[in-house]
Amino acid sequence: MKLRFSVLLAAGALTLLALALMVVSAPSAAAQTAPTPEPAATAEPVTLTVTGVITNGTAGAANPAAGLKVNLHSFNPQDNLGNVTTLTTTLSADGSFTFANVATQTGWEMAASTEYNGVLYSSSLSTVAAGPLAGTVSLPVTVYETTTETTTVRVEQMHVFFDFSTGNLGVVELYILTNSGDRAVVNPSGTVEFALPAGATDFQVQGELEGVDYVRTALGFAETKPIAPGVGMAQILLSFNLPYSGQLDFAQALLRPVSAVGVLVPENGVKLTSSLLQDEGVQNMQSNPYRVYGTTDLQPGSSLSFQISGQPSSVVPTPGLSGGAANSAAPGGFDSRSLGIGIGVLGIVVVIVGVWFYRRQGQAGAAPGKTREPAEPLSEDDLIQTIADLDDAFEAGEVEAPVYERRRAKLKAQLMELMAGKK
């Protein structure tokens, strides 16, 4: 069981890294390459022809008809939200599109996107390389037909974290969803439903609005956003509070198959007891020990249940807030490679959760919708702040989805690189 849990979570790291390079395009080998190097300090003008084809990835379905609107987004990744250009054309009868004489610069990033049957799809990201003028870049896009059937959607990973800094027990949960079918799941009434534990209050979902992105249900909530085919194609980060007086019987019903679960608790004074979860060892983050519990292959109708008791014996910063990486070994010789969730999965999850807590605790210093301009390489705290500001700008409608996704992926990659360098 332990080996399998480790392998699943290690595989999840690759999924998340690949996800950082795409929006809702189909998985590809190109999407799983290493993060694109930062552009040179001095950019040079480049004129490009950008081409591509739009194909339908649903078996037996026809390719999109001529006239479908296609957008080309080009932006300087060093300028956060500045220098963003969007061009528009339409699809030809043969399924191709062309943007001629596109003026850009070396080091800029480009992606093509289109909306098909109400779902936004994007190409992989391309970085403009130095070279002769009038070069050609290909940015193919795959789209899918839709369905209201949700049987192809499963929870690839479920991660649970706790915040003991308030009178209640703060709970943060991260879901990574996979759609194994060849149709995008679309249902405005709710694509995938999740249950919440009894007594949960102050529920919220990062970057989502109730009635727009999710709806409340008798059991908890249901996402209304489309879920495109592919592994790890949707991430849901949510939080809620539970009443806590030093001991809690945690029970959360599972409505969908869950491939792997990880629960993270502070090691200093907090105890978790469960016949379901296995003790996977201690992981050091920011010089603070956390104990990780996990299990695999939970089926619909089962419950994630355990008892948690105690309080941290000292103030333990929330992972990801003030920098620091998951260390490769904890005191006593624990090797995180046997756990399989070191800087790979746990590191990325810490980045996401760190940004969530940063925003939740009101530590953002810039005005909403604004981001810091990186005059020099950003620190970990600066990167977390910039991601939070970018999220605010997107929620305010100031940034288009493809640009937001690509910029956020770049910032997360920078943050992961800093964290990996401190192992």
Position with higher pLDDT, 45 vs 223: 223
Find the mean pLDDT for residues 275-288: 81
Confidence of residue 125 (pLDDT cuts 50, 70, 90): confident
Q: What is the pLDDT of residues 298-343, one digit of tens each?
A: 999 999 999 999 988 765 544 433 333 333 333 232 232 323 333 3
Say if residue 162's pLDDT is above 80: yes
The span from the CA of 375 to the CA of 378, in Å, is 8
Say if residue 380's pLDDT is above 90: no
Q: Indicate the range of 12-26, 217-231, 270-284 predicted with least confidence.
A: 12-26
Q: What is the pLDDT of residues 383-410, one digit of tens each?
A: 777 887 887 777 777 777 777 777 777 7
Q: Cβ–Cβ contacts within 10 Å for residue 269, how many? A: 14
Position with higher pLDDT, 234 vs 421: 234
Q: 184 pairs with which residues across the strands?
A: 146
pLDDT for 173 equals: 93
Say if residue 372's pLDDT is above 60: no
CATH architecture group of domain 43-143: Sandwich (2.60)
The span from the CA of 96 to the CA of 136, in Å, is 14
The span from the CA of 196 to the CA of 291, in Å, is 23
Say if residue 44's pLDDT is above 60: yes
pLDDT for 353 equals: 67
Confidence of residue 35 (pLDDT cuts 50, 70, 90): very low
Confidence of residue 422 (pLDDT cuts 50, 70, 90): low
pLDDT for 375 equals: 45
Most confident listed range (4-13, 343-352, 353-362, 408-417)? 408-417
pTM of the model: 0.72
Confidence of residue 361 (pLDDT cuts 50, 70, 90): low
Mean pLDDT of the chain: 76
Looking from the CA of 236 toward its CB, the CA atoms found within 13 Å total 28
pLDDT for 320 equals: 38
Distances (CA, A) of 124 to 27, 137, 344: 9, 12, 22
Distances (CA, A) of 79 to 5, 76, 214, 390: 40, 6, 32, 12
Find the mean pLDDT for residues 62-81: 86
Confidence of residue 14 (pLDDT cuts 50, 70, 90): very low
Say if residue 293's pLDDT is above 70: yes
- Domain boundary assignment for the chain: 2-15+148-420, 43-143
Q: Indicate the range of 30-34, 164-168, 204-208 predicted with least confidence.
A: 30-34
